[in-house]
Amino acid sequence: METRQDEYVDSKGLVLVVEDERPIADLVRLYLTRDGFGVHVEHDGAAGLAAARRVRPVACILDIALPGLEGTEICRRMRADGDWTPVIFLTARDDEVDRILGLELGADDYVTKPFSPRELVARVKALLRRAAGPDSGERVRVLGPLTLDPGRRLVTVDGTPLSLTPTEFDLLGHLLGRPGRVFTREELLASVWGYASHAGTRTVDVHVAQVRAKLGDAAGLIRTVRGVGYTADA
**Torsion of the alpha carbons at 46, 51, 56 and 60, rounded to the nearest 10:** -60
Q: What tens digit of pLDDT does each residue of 133-153 get?
A: 655 457 889 999 999 998 888
Whether residues 59 and 115 fall in one domain: yes
27, pLDDT greater than 50: yes
Whether residues 104 and 37 fall in one domain: yes
Whether residues 39 and 119 fall in one domain: yes
Across 105-132, average pLDDT: 84
59, pLDDT greater than 80: yes
Domains identified in the chain, total number:
2
Of 63, 50, 83, 80, which Cα lies nearest the Cα of 17? Answer: 63
Residues 140/150, Cβ–Cβ less than 8 Å: yes
Global model pTM greater than 0.85: no
Average pLDDT, the chain: 85
What is the identity of the amino acid at 155? Answer: V
- What one-character-per-residue DSSP string does 50-67 give? HHHHHH--SEEEE-SS-S
The CATH number of the domain holding residue 113 is 3.40.50.2300
Cα–Cα distance measured from residue 233 to residue 192, given in angstroms and rounded to the nearest whole number = 19
Whether residues 44 and 75 fall in one domain: yes
Cis check: omega of the bond before 114, within 30 degrees of 0? yes
Whether residues 145 and 204 fall in one domain: yes
56, pLDDT greater than 50: yes
Whether residues 113 and 176 fall in one domain: no
Which residue, of 132, 167, 186, is where some domain finishes? 132
167, pLDDT greater than 80: yes
228, pLDDT greater than 60: yes
Of 78, 79, 83, 112, which Cα lies nearest the Cα of 95? Answer: 112
Whether residues 214 and 111 fall in one domain: no
Q: How many CA atoms lie within 13 A of 147 on its CB side?
A: 12
Residue 20, domain member (yes or no): yes
Whether residues 158 and 99 fall in one domain: no
Whether residues 69 and 122 fall in one domain: yes
98, pLDDT greater than 50: yes
Domain residues for the domain of 170 are 141-232
Which residue, of 80, 104, 132, is where some domain finishes? 132
196, pLDDT greater than 60: no
Residue 169, domain member (yes or no): yes
